[in-house]
Structure 1
């Protein structure tokens, strides 16, 4: 498992001798608008559910997510975050040769190595704004039985258009495509078309509540695939892998779909405005700002600066951003900043420009 995910606020606070809530954490990609209205109140009222075992297979929660996504419940599994499915994918699918489209989230690599597989990589390039060339990807992917794709990608924020991705999966029916859509709900309405409705037998979608609904601590994630794929993964499921409060959260969301839709719509509008403002504040500072449909911005640092140096300067200001040097395919020239509330974004932009101007 990789060390150096975002969100390590406690360790930074301990090093600085301050309280964790005195640190501004822009290293972790959570909805800047917080939690879906009413959800925390509902969970507070249902705290007594932790005194009993949850539903063993999370059947009601699975039905709730299937209703939200508009798909058949027989195509869905619920786990302890989408991470559970990342780490069981190789044995569940019988993977032997794995390709990872990057630079991307490191747990795909960690999951392969856990099962004795050394993955290969197809790396998008900074000169092409980290956009994936699906024609070139198809040529390489034909040599592999399993491909991991994060779409939109972390940390680049790049999105493979739905029709291109669908054509890729149909072109290589013998290759399993694991498509992580954890950040897709943040994308603008016109490009957020999910692969969950795809009927291809070789497509497995990972879907998460953590990011868009602001509840990463509940560890609620889902796998969507054909009935056959679901059965392959079910063999690696443990009983009670979804806790009581996570299942309660799904029940609330499914019963309040209008609140949910309004919240997601408000999030999209907020991010579109804030990202434009944030990028304008960084314009002219010498950094490279890559296109993003997500709540985070990948930044190429000006020559002469390193991610470690810039991150340390900002830690002194009690601002935490993501050092991207441990993403395979990136180096010490990249950082990632996740948007928060407007006043925090303005402050972070000023501090960042000052940090690279020293």
Structure 2
């Protein structure tokens, strides 16, 4: 199985399974900006290698000031982490919840981290009719039973947002229950600002709501790891109090600062590319017989045509040097679900072409066997 460690983007495991060198893989299993990092970030990192002789700022002060200016908040509301995963871990360490709620299917770290820190995990399920979005009344009911609830916005792996009205209802419910609501906005930067449903502008009204964001996906720096949370200053301070000193390295902090000062052209080009290529990729997958929820992020959840399994398609694509994410292990999904990142036009065309060839080859083999032919090995 490619997801040996529970996530996509594992090139070493792919090399072990499929025998290719890492650089030869076309990786649709990790949802990273296909433009790569902003040029300013790469230049700054090259010019700053000598800074590794100094300790990074344990208070992340310059990055927090830039984030606060960008988000329209105060730096006391911010906690910077070694990726969004550390931000989630710090939240769990600060709150020590006995029960955690999740909305399946969802990012596997919600359950994994919660159980790792000793919490019981309760869940509700999205429905195929709603693109694997769960009914808001079900989520509201779950808030009454847990001490912390994680909600993806847009959700991974289906890429669908909840409405602003739904988010407000859930945030208000969390206040009345005394439950904490952690809204994971790791992929929200890929959505045009006018189309984002976020409680950020009104977060001061909801003391029990936390927003979790990632800089590694949108700015294509997953190897550096950088994420942050926006939460009431008391909770932000409690999270920081649980953080290992220097968990965010100096180059990651510099890269984050460069990302936030790189200008709007990179952001605009990214969103334009994602919107255009996502639509074309979705149409191409639909033509192959797949079922695709109309996601808004930089990835698509794909239900393969029967009788294809995620394992078989992943293996055959992997042998061709193309990696996709199996979602067969996601509670609430089936054995035929994969997730594919949105990449540039040439890469998406290559994926669609190879998937089409694989499906056609397999269909031809089955027809040949039914007609008494001999399958060539």
Question: Shared topology, TM-score over 0.5?
Answer: yes
SS of corresponding position for 1:218: coil
Q: Separation in 1 of the partners of 2:91 and 2:284?
A: 41
Aligned residue for 2:370?
Answer: none
More deviation, 211-220/11-20: 11-20
| Structure 1 residue 15, shift from structure 2 partner | 3.6
Aligned residue for 1:53?
Answer: 55
Matches within 5 A, 1:139-150: 139-150=141-152
Length, aligned pairs only:
355
Of the three residues 185, 208, 213, the one matched with 2:214 is 208
Matched, 1:321 2:324: yes
Q: Separation in 2 of the partners of 1:37 and 1:65?
A: 20
| Structure 1 residue 293, shift from structure 2 partner | 0.4
8 A contact 2:123–2:142 mirrored in 1: no
Matched, 1:348 2:351: yes
SS of corresponding position for 2:256: helix
8 A contact 1:6–1:28 mirrored in 2: yes
Matches within 5 A, 1:44-123: 44-123=46-125
Q: Separation in 2 of the partners of 1:159 and 1:251?
A: 28
| Structure 1 residue 33, shift from structure 2 partner | 1.4
Aligned residue for 1:263?
Answer: 266
Q: Separation in 2 of the partners of 1:102 and 1:68?
A: 32
Matched, 1:223 2:229: yes
Q: Separation in 2 of the partners of 1:30 and 1:334?
A: 20
Q: Separation in 1 of the partners of 2:275 and 2:256?
A: 27
Matches within 5 A, 1:278-289: 278-289=281-292
| Structure 1 residue 336, shift from structure 2 partner | 0.5
Matched, 1:179 2:183: yes
Residues 262 and 294 of structure 1, relative CA distance in 2, 3 Å threshold? same
More deviation, 126-135/45-54: 126-135
Aligned residue for 2:337?
Answer: 334
Q: Separation in 2 of the partners of 1:95 and 1:155?
A: 25
Aligned residue for 1:128?
Answer: 130
Matched, 1:299 2:302: yes
Superposition CA RMSD, Å: 1.7
| Structure 1 residue 108, shift from structure 2 partner | 0.8
Given the two structures, how large is their TM-score scaled by the length of structure 2? 0.90
In the TM superposition, what whole-angstrom CA distance separates every residue of 1:191-232 from its partner, at most 9, and x where no partner exists?
Answer: 224333311100111111100011111111111100111122
| Unmatched segments (≥5 aa) in structure 1 | none
Aligned residue for 2:293?
Answer: 290
SS of corresponding position for 1:216: coil
Q: Separation in 2 of the partners of 1:249 and 1:12?
A: 28
Residues 2 and 86 of structure 1, relative CA distance in 2, 3 Å threshold? farther
| Unmatched segments (≥5 aa) in structure 2 | 363-377
8 A contact 2:6–2:108 mirrored in 1: no
Aligned residue for 2:37?
Answer: 35
SS of corresponding position for 2:223: helix
Larger radius of gyration: 2
In the TM superposition, what whole-angstrom CA distance separates every residue of 1:69-94 from its partner, at most 9, and x where no partner exists?
Answer: 12100100111111112123223113
In the TM superposition, what whole-angstrom CA distance separates every residue of 1:288-313 from its partner, at most 9, and x where no partner exists?
Answer: 01111011110111221110011111
8 A contact 1:80–1:221 mirrored in 2: yes
8 A contact 1:132–1:160 mirrored in 2: no
Aligned residue for 1:196?
Answer: 200
8 A contact 1:26–1:338 mirrored in 2: yes
| Structure 1 residue 19, shift from structure 2 partner | 1.6
